Each structure stands twice: as structure tokens, then as C-alpha cells.
Amino acid sequence: MQRITDIEILELGEGRRERSSPWSSTILVLRMTTSDGIVGYGEAPTTLMTLPVYEQMREVARMLKGKDPTEINQNMLELYRNSFYMPVSMETTSAASAFEIAMLDITGKIYGMPVYKMLGGALRKKIRAYANGWYDDCKTPEEFAKKARGIVSKGMTALKFDPFLDAYDTIDKKQIDHASEVVGAVKRAVKKADILLEFHGRFDANSAIKAAQQLEQYSPLFMEEPVHPDEFDGLLRFRSAIKSPVALGERVLNKNLFIGYFTNNAVDVIQPDITNFTGIREAYKVAAMAEPFGIEVAFHNAFGPIQSAATLNVDLAIRNFLIQESFEMSWPDWKRKLVSGYRLEDGHFELAGGPGLGCKVNERILEEYKISGMEPFEDKEPPWVVKGTFK
């Protein structure tokens, strides 16, 4: 019987050289080794929580070292039993996600099976992607349009962006007009591509409704997190006033917490993040829960390539897949070189399909880009925006 014998938690980044937005300037990689020398990898998100998540991963390691990595159900139940705040603690669910992903990677390698096969097999060969992160340092409609044309020229057929600059909580007519000019310029620049509008959960319901009423004319594929994530009744009011599809879910931390969104017709597209949602199996389950409501899935995917590989395995296996977020075109070189085994070409992902996650991790990058500490903090620009767009 296999046992988990070694657990390494690696923080990666470029430190002061990093030009990514703060939420993506570090990633946490888990390297898990079994008694037979099989290595599995997982990833946890950061978002100005690098060290809290890192420390929680150390606590999960204490619980799981010596366990059988293929007994994933039992191991995750033990984590749930011992983690008092797990259903609502992003630190705990993120740490648990990294370990669940690594255990599935190992299990797939033991049995010679890709994770998507373990979920029942592939329903598609290619996975449509949309670009995010491409609009750094954009403020004017012309700047957005120019960069949008560049992304579409590389084969992308959909792109998401936040046009609201520094508006927060409330928004006035001048700011709405500017956002409308930005969205209109992008729409004209990339006529055949789908556009997706990111609200970043920044507005109260009244402001979100006013902004969305002016932006609906551009027929977005969806509007993401239109209101503050803790204002559920405001979201319902937004739904009653706006016809555009609503997407959300990156801050929802397990499948049970989605039930109210389903039963209240609060959402059209869910966006759980596999690296803070307790992992791959929970993501697969919530996709199945969403099916009878006619709700589609577009997983949040904003950190690193191990996250991408894990997410693509689920994309292949679910019936109600819509589209997959991708930051690959905006990554620094070290992230691009960290993992091989999947590719993004002509606006679609393809997964090679090897055992486990189906990817190979570049150990040289793991060693060369080790860092420690929190990601940078910029008091004039929140950590969740694309760099250079809030000022």
C-alpha cells in the first residue's frame, strides 16, 4: 500500500522583478511523494493571502502525512472533520484543494489513467478558452481596442475585461459613459469575438444595475460578479432588472454554498475555482448539480499552470461546460515553462492526456523561482484588478 512520505510546499514567483498583478505574482505548489517514489502535484491560490494559505497547507500536511494517497474520500473527510471553519475559510479550502489535486495526480499515475478518465471520460477533444489579463495598463477606449485586436489576432475567439477603472461601490454617469465607450471600442475592434464583462464584485446593486443597463447593448456572453459577493438580495434585484447572463462563483467555497444561487435563479453560469473549492471532485459534483437547472460552467482559472491542468481535466468530463478562462498569454516566462502537457492554440486548449493531471512539471523552474513572503501591496490599486487599470 502506498503512503504519503514527503510533502513539500513551494512558493514561486519573481519577487521584486514580477510585473504580474499582485494576486498572480506568487503561486503555491505542492509536491507530494509516496513510499514508492510516485510524485503528485497540486496548487493553491494566493490573492494577498500567500502566507496564511502556506501555513494552512502545513497544517493539512500534518494530518495527511503517512496516509494512503488513493483513499481520497477518506482523507478529505478527515480534513473536513478536523477543520472547524473549512466550509467558509478560503485558507483551509485552498490548502485542501492542493492536496486533493495532488492525490488525484498520484492515483492516476498509479493506475495509468488521466484524471478526466477517472471522472468518466472526455466529452470533447478541445476546450474553448477566453483570454483574461490582456489589458494591463489600459485606460482609454483606444488602448483597450488596440490590445483586444492583438489578442484576437493570436487566435482567441473570446476575451474578458473590466472597463470600470477606479469606480468602486458606486458609479456615476461619467464613469458609466467611459465604461460604455471602452466596451463599445472593444466590440467594434473584435466584431466576431465574444466579449465577457468583469464587474469584479465591486458595486452595490443600484450602481451595478445602472452600469449594466447601459452595457447590455453590447451583448456580452456574461456579466461576472455584478454586485458585492455578500449582497445576495442585491443580486436578485440585479437579476430582475437585467437580461444579460450573470456569472459568479470564484468566491463560493463548496458545492453546498451554491444551492441558494440555483434555487433562486440567481445565476446563469457558475465559476468555481478548483484551487479553492476543495479540489477536482467537488468541482465535478457542482457541475452535475447545476445541470438540471440549465446552468453552465466556466471555471475560474487565474493563477498557475498546475491549476490550468487540473481544471482542463474537469472541463473535458462535464456536460454543461461553457468556456474556460485563460491567462496563459499574459503570464511571465517562468509560468509558461513550469508545466508541459497541455497547449493553447487557435483559442482552444488541448490536454495531452497522460496519467494523473497529464502534465510534467519542470523541476528546474521549481528550484530557480523559489521565494518567500507576501506578494506586493499597492495602496492605490486593489490586488484583484489587472495591473495598471485602476488608477
- What whole-number distance in Å separates Cα of residue 104 and Cα of residue 73? 11
List residues bridging with 197 in a β-sheet. Answer: 161, 223
- What whole-number distance in Å separates Cα of residue 244 and Cα of residue 68? 47
- What whole-number distance in Å separates Cα of residue 100 and Cα of residue 75? 9
Residue 111: how many CB atoms within 10 A of its CB? Answer: 12
Note if 178 is an active site residue: no
The SS3 of residue 73 is: helix
Q: Which amino acid is it at 359?
A: C
Ramachandran class of 164: left when φ > 0, alpha when ψ lies in -120 to 50, beta otherwise:
alpha
Q: Which amino acid is it at 344?
A: L
The gap between the terminal CA atoms of the chain, to the nearest Å, is 56
Strands 194-198 and 158-161: parallel
Strand stretches in 213-352, DSSP E = 223-224, 246-248, 269-270, 296-297, 324-326, 339-340, 342-345, 348-351
- What whole-number distance in Å separates Cα of residue 217 and Cα of residue 227? 19
Nearest alpha-carbon partner for 183 in 208, 136, 217: 217
For 302, the enclosing helix (H) or strand (E) is: none
Q: Name the catalytic one among 178, 200, 228, 348.
A: 200
φ, ψ dihedrals at 172, nearest 5°: -100, 175
Q: Which amino acid is it at 139?
A: K
Contacts of 184 (CB under 8 A, 6+ apart): 141, 218
Q: Using the Cα atoms of residue 50, residue 52, residue 53 and residue 59 in order, give the sign of their dihedral.
A: positive
Note if 200 is an active site residue: yes
Which residues are catalytic, by number?
200, 300
